[in-house]
Chain A
Amino acid sequence: MTVFGTIAGQTVRLALRAGGGAVVALVFFLAVVVVVPFGVGPDLRLLARIGPAMLWIAALLASLLGLDRLFGADREDGTLDLVVVSGESLVVYALGRAGGHWLTTGLPIAIAAPMLGILLNLEPPAMAAVALTLLAGTPALTLIGAVGAALTAGLPRGGLLIAVLVLPLTVPVLIFGVLATLGAVSDPEPFLSPFLLLCALTLAALALAPLAAAAALRLALE
């Protein structure tokens, strides 16, 4: 537990410093949401209909930020070798890095989403549903992204490649997140079943993604 806390805390501190990705992800989230009405037009009813989906897509893209530096810096300066040599589990290390990334990217996005919902003419129930589903779903996005980051750790142009590798795997999270949000606002559609599936995806990612990321990091050390 303390190893996880140490690494997660270090990730958060590094991200909050100048040059870190904490505020940038939030600003990118804002930028994407602001650009949407320029693209689809200012029709408020249309914005309210696609608002939850656009917030989710913006959250997905913003979560991909900062992933390529998640493990790359550690591989280059030898911290990864130290973690292995010290006998600590790479799984806990990967979980710590992912946890720190979520605390500085996913969590602020989930908190900021209702306020940006105003820009997209969302009703308060929709805003609450978006915030709740993002809170439940962004850990899955971070964890799946961490697998992609571990696979491309240290590659020169890894950033774009991570997006290509990770996006297909995050599609189910996106689908159930938006379904749950829409289910919370429209009467006949259910909220609970897609939301529970979303939570299941996050828990499955929590169980499996650190194992895959640790395996990939071990390969990165060769």
Chain B
Amino acid sequence: MPSVASLANPTRFLALSALVLPWTAGAAVVLFAAGLYLALFASPADYQQGDSVRIMYVHVPSVTLAMGCYTLMAVSALGTLVWRHPLADVAARAAAPLGAAFTFLGLVTGAIWGKPMWGAWWVWDARLTSFLVLLVMYLGLIALWRAFDDPARAGRVAAVLILVGFINIPIIKFSVDWWNTLHQPASILRLSGPTIHPSMLWPLLLMMAAFAMLFASLWLAAMRAEIFRRRVRTAELVAAQPAAVRGSALAGAGIGGAGA
């Protein structure tokens, strides 16, 4: 079982991810098929909300993944700054657009759920507001990465920002406890155990596993793409070098030729 340290070699990581990617993708397909069947057909409708409770099976995994992705990015940021792991900043940079997409999906599915339930597409309660702030943070991070030329330096600066912004994750998690929110309080991760009925809990957990496998597949693919992108960039920089030297030598010869 390769350790995190042994995965520091990009070539080794590419080889390993090429092996693992088909399995995570296949697992995602299987889990989605099973999960969607359970969620849409085999689980009960809510006694109050009717069938619109089934949005939960997309909404809850999305928001869990959005926050989990940021947590993974925070661990990667520690890997970049503290342990200097060579692929940690690649991991964080590849995860950011995925996290932003899942945050956006969570916001949209939440709005679709909220309109029939609460009568409003959007309210400014603590949970929704802090989750929207998470989206802005993701987009700010992506903008910060794109503002630097050197990807390695960008990764280190972004790592500091990821760690500074991590305070938002416990705020989102505990916002329903600390403030008077319209969003319902926690039903799964509670000290006294989940309050959700097993007939709904198991499809939900299955959908969470499906989303997690989807995220793992997309993340591995994105990391591979980022590694290849950096190799292309390095190759372009190296290829540009002799051309510049060649170009200035030609210009010198041209000036000399014109003078002569």
Contact assessment for A164 and B148 in the assembled complex, using a CB-CB cutoff below 8 Å? no
Q: Are B164 and A147 in contact (CB under 8 A)?
A: yes
Do B160 and A212 touch across chains, with their CB atoms under 8 A apart? yes
A161 and B164 form a contact (CB under 8 A): no
CA distance A182 to B254 in the complex (A): 75
Q: Flag whether A167 is at the interface (Cβ < 8 A).
A: yes
16 further A-B contacts with Cβ under 8 Å, apart from A161-B144, A164-B140, A165-B140, are A147-B164, A151-B144, A151-B160, A152-B144, A155-B147, A157-B147, A161-B143, A168-B137, A168-B168, A171-B129, A212-B163, A215-B81, A215-B160, A219-B153, A219-B160, A220-B157
Contact for B156 among A164, A165, A219, CB less than 8 A: A219
Neighbouring B residues of A115 by C-beta, 8 Å: none
User: In the complex, which residues of chain B have a beta carbon less than 8 angstroms from the beta carbon of A157?
Assistant: 147
Q: In this assembly, does B139 line the interface, its C-beta being within 8 Å of a C-beta of chain A?
A: yes
- The verdict on B165 contacting chain A, using a C-beta distance below 8 Å, is yes
Nearest-neighbour CB distance to chain A for B170, whole angstroms, equals 13
Q: Tell me if A43 is interfacial: C-beta within 8 Å of chain B.
A: no
Contacts of B108 in A (CB 8 A): none
Q: How far is the CA of A171 from the CA of B137 in the complex (A)?
A: 12
* Residue B182, interface by CB 8 Å: no
A158 CB within 8 Å of chain B: yes
Selected A-B contacts with CB under 8 Å, 8 pairs: A152-B144, A164-B143, A167-B136, A212-B160, A212-B164, A219-B153, A219-B156, A222-B156
A165 CA to B164 CA, complexed, in Å: 10
Establish whether residues A164 and B133, one from each chain, have CB atoms under 8 Å apart when the complex forms: no
Main SS class of interface, B:
helix
**Which B residues are in CB contact (< 8 Å) with A147?**
164
Does chain A have a CB within 8 A of B161?
yes
Q: Which of A151, A158, A168 has the most CB of B within 10 A?
A: A168
Top 3 A-B pairs, shortest CB-CB distance: A164-B140, A168-B133, A165-B140
Cβ–Cβ contact B133 & A171, under 8 A? yes
In the complex, A216 has a CB within 8 A of chain B = yes
Bound Cα distance from A161 to B161, whole angstroms: 12
**A 201-221 to B, binary, CB cutoff 8 A, 1 in contact else 0:** 000000000001001100110
In the complex, A169 has a CB within 8 A of chain B: yes
B residues 110-158 in Cβ contact with A at 8 Å: 129, 133, 136-137, 139-140, 143-144, 147-148, 153, 156-157
Nearest-Cβ distance from residue A111 to partner chain B, whole angstroms = 30
CA distance A220 to B157 in the complex (A): 8
Query: What's the Cα separation between A82 and B136 when bound, in Å?
Result: 36
The residue in chain A whose Cβ has the minimal distance to the Cβ of B130 is A171
Q: A152-B147, A161-B144, A219-B153 are in contact. Are A168 and B165 (CB under 8 A)?
A: yes
Interfacial residues of chain A within 56-79, with CB under 8 A of chain B in the complex: none
A contact residues around B161 at 8 Å (CB): 151, 165
- Tell me which residues across on chain A come within 8 A of B147, comparing CB atoms: 152, 155, 157-158, 161
Cα A164 to Cα B142 in complex, Å, equals 11
Question: A155 near B148 (CB under 8 angstroms)?
Answer: yes
Please give, as numbers and ranges, the residues of chain A lying within 8 Å of B143 by CB-CB distance: 161, 164
Across the interface, name the chain B residue whose C-beta is closest to A222: B153
- Which of B81, B139, B140, B153 has the largest number of chain A CB atoms within 10 A? B140
Quote the shortest CB–CB distance from A197 to chain B (angstroms): 12
Residues of A within 8 Å of B164, CB to CB, are 147, 169, 212
| B133, B147, B163, B164 interface centre (most CB from chain A within 10 Å) | B164
A169 touches B165 (CB 8 A): yes
- Which residue of chain B has its CB nearest to the CB of A175? B129
Whether A216 pairs with B144 at a CB distance below 8 angstroms is no
Closest-by-CB residue of B relative to A208 is: B164
Residues of B within 8 A of A219 (CB): 153, 156-157, 160
Q: Which of B137, B139, B157 contacts A216 (CB 8 A)?
A: B157
User: What's the nearest-Cβ distance from chain B to residue A183, in Å?
Assistant: 16
A164 to chain B, nearest CB (A): 5
Shortest Cβ distance from B158 into A: residue: A151
Cα A216 to Cα B81 in complex, Å, equals 11
Query: In whole angstroms, how far apart are the Cα atoms of A204 and B161 in the complex?
Result: 17
Give the distance in Å from the alpha carbon of A168 to the alpha carbon of B143 in the complex.
14
Contact (Cβ within 8 A) A164 B165: no
**A158 vs B140: C-alpha distance when bound (angstroms):** 12
Report the nearest A residue to B150, measured CB to CB. Answer: A222
Q: How far is A51 from B130 in the complex, measured between Cα atoms in Å?
A: 24
Q: Which residues of B contact A171 (CB under 8 A)?
A: 129, 133
